[in-house]
Chain A
């Protein structure tokens, strides 16, 4: 076992080369390339419809790339589909459990479909169920489970066959903060105990911080890829948000007097500037427009996102770009089987 794993350690867990996917004349993914090292927690960050799910579907053999190639655990996602499937665990955005079965039956079914060695099934099942805190509920019908319990069970199921790569597509979407925190705890625990690579998508900025590396995706392309720290350092500047008597005039004045590019974001004039605290007194003295409130924040991934895409992640979802995404959805809905 150790020998197998060490050979596996030498090849990238995921390798993607100029991957593209079009639905009709709509390009959902427009040429992405990256590598994920074994053992890494790799985050895919971007607004809804940036192409994250389409990319994940191609990696998981659920969608065929229009061009380019993807290798997962060393196997080609198109020509070695079964080999890829044997080595990956999947947790989808929408739930895929059988509500009529118990938690245990759902896992058993998964183990049988994946051909897990029968002698190891009970022990493995206990382990994954304990990890997500559902061991006591193993005989409960999934129909009676809450949304958070179902998501936890799906994670347990995705781990049932000890995958080398676990794909989590928005694992915490629609969950309460407590459940979200516990899911992150499992992921941290997993990383420590199992030899596993985790590939996840999220559009929660605060969650991206848990990743070893992050790729920011916007409009079907990767616009930045690095560790959260490096990405934040690259922004360098602090984020200043002000509300004023006349926001339009304030944006113009900031550009004119300080040469800084400000924009309206979430109801406040927002701009990035180095050493924000020292800049604020100057702002009050020189802006010439009455300021009602001010806040200064150290760079966050939100700022990173803003820097690379020109909008915050929430704004991006309201954006004309979102129109394009809605079109992709329509094309997909119409074209699917």
Chain B
């Protein structure tokens, strides 16, 4: 029945850096293929951020108009929403590890002659990529909230989103290795992610908060993504210095203003630590 007569014999060469690179790349590609195939996911994960931005933003604007120094509330919460949108998508990407286990596919990757770390890294990069793609859609809406389309701004926002998405995916993968069921995974992620984004200062300036909230806010890793994002966007706005000072006070540690670079470093460092833990957990499992 077969028409091919000569047997094509391939041999698998010993592991090299190149084979690890190929493994990372194919795991990354798979995330992209799946994201493209799953159009519903693109739409559903956009709904929540859009609701916050346009419904909550427009609604509360009527109360806040007096105190924002002429800046629209939508403009104020926009940087935070850029972060939140990425966060939800990244979380979904990490969730696919749980699916992969449930449908057996994880096993196919686990028995391959490559480092487990390559699989985790590919997964995190894939999650980061699709999440930033999601972020780009929101970035396109800048004009609706009076934020200019400045190439430098767009580039900066994209870089920040990529970083945040990577860290969140690493966090999600770290959790997903331990949790076997989709429902529990979603539950756990909701439990962690929801408070994180309420506390991070997406909807309020982070200065002059009650003491307890200040402490929680400074402990929340997401704070260190939202704050640089807001500074970046506000750098490109034409507003009064008073409004800027009120709306973008910056994060302080015991009165010391934390530099933007350090904030970004915090997000990166946390992401790498969680990636490390995820790899370690993956290696430890049979």
Q: Please list the residues of chain A having a beta carbon within 8 angstroms of any beta carbon in chain B.
A: 1, 4, 60-64, 82-83, 85-87, 90, 92, 94-101, 105, 108-110, 112-117, 120-121, 123-124, 126-127, 130-131, 133, 160-162, 189, 193-195, 336-337
Contact = CB atoms under 8 A, between A and B. Distances in A.
B112 interface: yes
Given A98-B105, A130-B2, A162 B9 contact: yes
Interface in B6-48: 7-16, 18-19, 22-23, 25-26, 30, 33-34, 37-38
B111 to A, nearest CB: 6
B1 interface: yes
17 contacts: A62-B111, A85-B113, A86-B12, A86-B113, A96-B104, A96-B107, A96-B108, A98-B103, A99-B103, A110-B112, A112-B26, A116-B12, A124-B8, A127-B4, A127-B7, A133-B1, A336-B286
A94 B2 contact: no
B285 interface: yes
B3 interface: yes
A92 B104 contact: yes
- Name the 10 nearest CB pairs between A and B, nearest first: A112-B26, A115-B19, A85-B113, A113-B112, A96-B104, A86-B12, A337-B285, A96-B108, A124-B8, A123-B8
Contact of A126 (B4, B108, B109): B4
| Interface of A (DSSP majority class) | loop
A167 B284 CA distance: 24
Contacts, number: 124
Q: What's the interface size class on B, roughly? A: 35 or more
B152 to A, nearest CB: 37
Interface of B: 1-4, 7-16, 18-19, 22-23, 25-26, 30, 33-34, 37-38, 100, 103-105, 107-114, 177-178, 180, 285-286
Contacts of A116: 10, 12
Contact of B8 (A85, A101, A114, A127): A127
B113 A112 contact: no
Contacts of A108: 26
Contacts of A193: 7
A98 B30 CA distance: 10
A161 B2 contact: no
Contacts of A194: 7, 9
B107 A92 contact: yes
A161 B8 CA distance: 10
Contacts of B1: 133
A90 B11 CA distance: 16
A121 B11 CA distance: 11
Nearest to A133: B1
B112 A114 contact: yes
Nearest to A190: B7
B1 to A, nearest CB: 7
Contacts of A1: 9, 11
Given A85-B112, A162-B10, A189-B2, 14 more contacts: A61-B111, A62-B110, A63-B286, A92-B104, A98-B105, A99-B103, A105-B33, A109-B30, A113-B109, A114-B12, A115-B13, A117-B11, A130-B2, A161-B10
